[in-house]
Amino acid sequence: MQGSVFAKSRIISWKPMLLICSVFVLFLFTGPLPVWAHGFTVQTSFSGIGASVVQEYEHEDEDPWAGWMNLEVTNTGTEKWGDFHFEVFQVGSYGSIDNVDWDVTTNTPTSSQTLEGWTADNVAVGATLDLYFYGDPVYPGETATFSVYNVNPDELSWFATSFYPTPVPVPGAVLLLASGLFGILGMRKRLQR
């Protein structure tokens, strides 16, 4: 009698384990579930830099049609990053992304890096957001976090976000750019006289 109770309890204890294993196997074959644009986290890494290594995440959005994108990203490459870029784009025929914007006024972007500034272009279709942190770059092997806020007033059900890092500018290139700007300013003053 006691043996049958023990056997029954062992069978019951395996059911949760079987359920967990089934979900894990299903996840392996189907991939990650879609993330929600009204607040989601993405964990990834980049071994390269620039627009050629862009990564994309599609979002199925729902009420309240706005929220934080939290990105945790590791630099597995050989160059340090000085800025990070985000862009919204349309997925299939789910509607126009004309009014999907980055809210940097009410919901200021944040980062584990010390942000020196950002540029948001919500006028162009495919709104872009560029974050700058040249004084506190992400070195190879380091992980950085970024939180940016997206607004979707047209209640678009699907859209996507792409993102990628770019390197800290080479000092020589910065000096060349600065000297060119000073030259243009000097010519402008000369023309005004």
Of residues 153, 96, 157, 98, the one with CA closest to residue 125: 98
Please give the model's pTM, rounded to 2 decimal places.
0.67
- pLDDT for position 34: 41
CATH fold label, 40-175: Immunoglobulin-like (2.60.40)
| Contacts for 41 with CB less than 8 Å, ≥ 6 apart | 35, 70, 71, 72
Task: Name the residue ranges covered by the structural domains of the chain.
Answer: 1-31, 40-175
- pLDDT for position 64: 80
- pLDDT for position 20: 64
- pLDDT for position 85: 96
Distance from C-alpha of 165 to C-alpha of 47, rounded to nearest angstrom: 10
- pLDDT for position 98: 76
| Contacts for 126 with CB less than 8 Å, ≥ 6 apart | 87, 88, 89, 90, 97
Within the chain, which residues score under 70 in pLDDT? 1-38, 171-178, 181, 187-193
- pLDDT for position 24: 58
